[in-house]
Amino acid sequence: MAASRRILPGFGLTLGVTVAWLGLIVLIPLAALVAKSTSLSWEQFWGTVTSERTLAAFGLSFGAAAVAALVNLVAGAVIAWALVRYRFPGRRLVDAVIDLPFALPTAVAGIALTTLYAPNGWIGALLEPLGIQVAFTRLGVVMALIFIGLPFVVRTVQPVLEEIPAEFEEAAASLGASRLTVVLRVLLPEALPALITGTTLAFARAVGEYGSVIFIAGNIQGQTEIAPLLIVIQLEQYNYAEATAIAVVMLVLSFALLLAVNLLQRWSNRRFREST
């Protein structure tokens, strides 16, 4: 029997281009990063990545990214739902503004947020009498990460909600289901994979964020100093091996977390298919 032919040929060529491109853009730079860190002895490597300053930076980067991703999970789902299910004045403007963090340079975003939330800023001046300080604190770091991560959740969940007919909700309500039941039993199972994906993308984006954070964070050593900034500081001091050591740890932790989330997403998809 003759081998089946694809309608559009060129699999070998496109596969070769794909592998070559990924190798040049992703694999070779990552391999060079790991190779550079091996110039340190194990004691030097361990001492660099477990120093008090480095651990504080890791904790802030990953902790703030996780908090921001969870906030974006809720806020992004609500915004996507409002854009899909309701028609209101200015809807198209709101829909366009969602993409602003994609187009806005991160440094500009950081300056804008600092201007707003500084003690003498428009919003910061209102919060200061209440004893709330955003700029130059960890809360400011979280605010910046929420800003840059929100579009990932909205744009991932929005197309999925658009594919869910409103008749499903109406049918469930006509059968006596409460609003909470409709959300949990009708909408959530369909939107859950997109919610997990969008939240993961927002988290991954936030972990490595630099430009929008350094202005509003204040960069106080041990308090508001993020890991990407610590890498830059090491590079400025010509400590290239130490900088790559910190970068390798961030790479490994980020990959492990993303892998865990992807496995969780596959498990939830499989359970959903089995239940239906």
- pLDDT tens column, 117-144: 998 989 999 998 898 999 999 999 999 9
pLDDT of residue 1: 44
Torsion sign, CA atoms 98, 103, 106, 112: negative
Nearest-angstrom CA–CA distance, 173 and 103: 41
pLDDT of residue 36: 85
Residue 272: band (very low, low, confident or very high) from pLDDT cuts 50, 70, 90: low
Segment 13-36, tens digit of pLDDT? 788 888 888 888 888 888 888 888
Q: State the average pLDDT over residues 189-212.
A: 89
pTM for the model stands at 0.86
Which superfamily does CATH assign the domain made up of 42-275 to?
Answer: MetI-like (1.10.3720.10)
pLDDT of residue 242: 92
Nearest-angstrom CA–CA distance, 86 and 151: 19
Which residues touch 269 (CB under 8 Å, ≥6 apart)?
193
